[in-house]
Structure formats: structure tokens, C-alpha cells
């Protein structure tokens, strides 16, 4: 069966139209009368989905206290619930947050957004781009949005208002990136970052490596299962340390 080209919407310019074949997304087409037709790429269907959470790793162990703390903090009904997890890179912040988010998915049935803020990249995602992603998830990928940040923020809040939405912002840079994305009452915000981020009403957690004795306890079951096959015990220690960390309130 021959694949048909995707249907594209081309903005009419100067009273003329243009019929284009092939993939010309994000292209500027110059017509015969020197007008320019700008063709926008279609929105990513995954980025505009309402339910975006993936399952956490299947062998996640430990951190029962942290999980319980975060779940309880994010189950208030009278206000926007905010929790933040900070710690060094590779310590397990994202997987912990995904596990918590999975437990909370039934509490926030209208939408669960998972958005990488790219805080450790050279170009972190601006808040208005995240707002646009959330808005288009409700209004459709072709929704036209205001360029003005204040108007966009109002539209963002109006779309979340009256809904139960879980917003998981992974890999945040700092408070200036997260603060504009605070949801209205009834929704929840879960943030991970290498830096400690403090927001009004936030329940903060700082993840630290386990002490050696605690790591031995977590690694016990894995060691019993895998040493018979010649598994490297040092690798098991590292695995336990990456999946379970001590918890203390952030200051």
C-alpha cells in the first residue's frame, strides 16, 4: 500500500494559494508573486497528549518513606499541591517522581503531564513553551495562542482551572523556570532538579546517597539472587545506591 503524504494546512497569503507535495514542514515557500507562505510542522502527538506518564523502572526498591511523604503532600484537595525533589545527577530523582506520579494518577484523572525542562542543557525550555504544550493538549495541536506572556499565562491557568491535573516537571533549572507554571487549586506540581527549589507551600525533599550499612540492606536481595551467576558485587552496591537514598527535609 502506498503511503499518502500528510495533509498540510497552508496559510493563504496575498490572495493566492499554493499546493505543495512532499514533506516541507517548517519551510517558507515563495510564490510566483513573491509572497511567502510559511508552513508549520504538525505538533508532536505525544507532546500534546493528556496522559504522558511512562512506567517507572520495574526493579525500583526502597525509599518507602520518601514515597509516602510525597504522595501525602500531593493529595490535598483545597489548594495547589507542590512537591520538589532535588539531588545530584543520576541519584534517582526522575524514577522516584515517576513512581509517585503513578500512585497519584487516579487522583488526577484529567491529565498527567511529563515535561522535561532541560535544565542541564545549554538551552533550557522557556516557561511559555511548556504552557503552550499544556494548552494544546486540551484545545488541540493547531490552537492559535497569544504571543503575549501574560495572556498566555491566563489561558494556561484557565485551561487547568476546575480540573485535576498532575504536572511533573523533570530536570528544572531554577525557580524562575518553574514559578510561572504553578497550577491553580485542584491540581498538583511535582518538580525534580539538581538545585534546591523553594516555592510557597512546597514539600521539598533532598536525596543523598545511602550510608554503606543501608546500601548493604537494600542490596541483600539482589546479592542473594545474582551471586550464584557470578555477578559483580561492586556493581550491586552501585545499583542499590542508585535506587535507594536517604531522605531529609531541604532547608
pLDDT per position as a tens digit, 1-43: 444 444 444 444 445 444 444 544 445 545 555 555 444 444 4
> What's the pLDDT band for 64 if we cut at 50, 70, 90?
confident
Q: CB of 95 within 8 A of CB of 57?
A: yes
Average pLDDT of the chain? 75
Q: What is the pLDDT of residues 178-232, one digit of tens each?
A: 999 999 999 999 999 999 998 988 999 998 775 665 566 666 655 544 544 443 3
Res. 248: pLDDT tops 80: no
Task: Considering the domain delimited by 64-207, tell me its CATH architecture.
Answer: 3-Layer(aba) Sandwich (3.40)
- Residue found under cell 476546575: 162
Domain ranges of the chain: 1-42, 64-207, 212-249
Per-residue pLDDT at 245: 34
107: left (phi over 0), alpha (psi -120 to 50) or beta: alpha
**130 vs 221 pLDDT, higher one:** 130
Res. 85: pLDDT tops 80: yes
All cell numbers assigned to 239: 545499583
Per-residue pLDDT at 4: 43
Helix, strand, coil percent values for the chain (each to nearest 5): 35, 20, 45
> What's the pLDDT band for 243 if we cut at 50, 70, 90?
very low
Q: CB of 48 within 8 A of CB of 157?
A: no
DSSP state at residue 16: B
Count Cα atoms within 13 angstroms, Cβ side, for 128.
8
Per-residue pLDDT at 54: 84
> What's the pLDDT band for 80 if we cut at 50, 70, 90?
confident
Nearest in space to 186 (alpha carbons), one of 112, 102, 78 = 78
Q: CB of 188 within 8 A of CB of 211?
A: no
Amino acid at each position: 500500500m502506498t503511503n499518502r503524504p500528510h495533509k498540510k494546512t497552508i496559510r493563504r497569503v496575498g490572495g493566492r494559494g499554493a499546493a505543495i507535495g512532499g514533506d516541507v514542514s517548517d519551510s517558507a515557500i515563495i510564490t510566483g508573486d513573491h509572497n511567502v507562505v510559511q508552513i508549520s510542522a504538525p505538533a508532536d502527538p505525544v507532546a500534546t497528549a493528556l496522559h504522558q506518564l511512562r512506567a517507572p523502572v520495574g526493579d525500583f526498591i526502597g525509599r518507602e518513606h520518601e514515597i509516602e511523604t510525597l504522595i501525602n503532600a500531593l493529595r490535598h484537595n483545597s489548594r495547589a499541591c507542590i512537591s520538589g525533589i532535588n539531588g545530584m545527577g543520576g541519584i534517582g530523582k526522575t524514577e522516584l517522581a515517576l513512581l509517585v506520579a503513578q500512585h497519584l494518577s487516579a487522583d488526577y484523572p484529567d491529565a498527567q503531564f511529563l515535561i522535561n525542562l532541560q535544565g542541564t542543557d545549554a538551552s533550557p525550555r522557556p516557561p511559555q513553551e511548556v504552557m503552550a504544550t499544556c494548552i494544546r493538549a486540551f484545545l488541540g495541536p493547531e490552537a492559535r495562542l497569544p504571543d503575549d506572556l501574560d495572556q498566555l499565562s491566563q489561558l494556561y491557568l484557565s485551561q487547568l482551572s476546575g480540573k485535576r491535573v498532575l504536572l511533573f516537571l523533570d530536570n528544572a533549572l531554577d525557580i524562575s523556570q518553574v514559578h510561572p507554571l504553578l497550577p491553580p487549586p485542584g491540581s498538583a506540581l511535582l518538580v525534580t532538579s539538581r538545585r534546591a527549589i523553594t516555592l510557597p507551600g512546597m514539600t521539598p525533599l533532598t536525596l543523598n546517597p545511602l550510608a554503606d550499612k543501608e546500601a548493604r540492606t537494600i542490596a541483600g536481595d539482589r546479592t542473594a539472587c545474582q551471586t550464584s551467576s557470578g555477578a559483580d558485587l561492586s556493581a550491586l552496591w552501585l545499583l542499590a545506591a542508585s535506587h535507594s537514598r536517604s531522605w531529609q527535609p531541604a532547608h
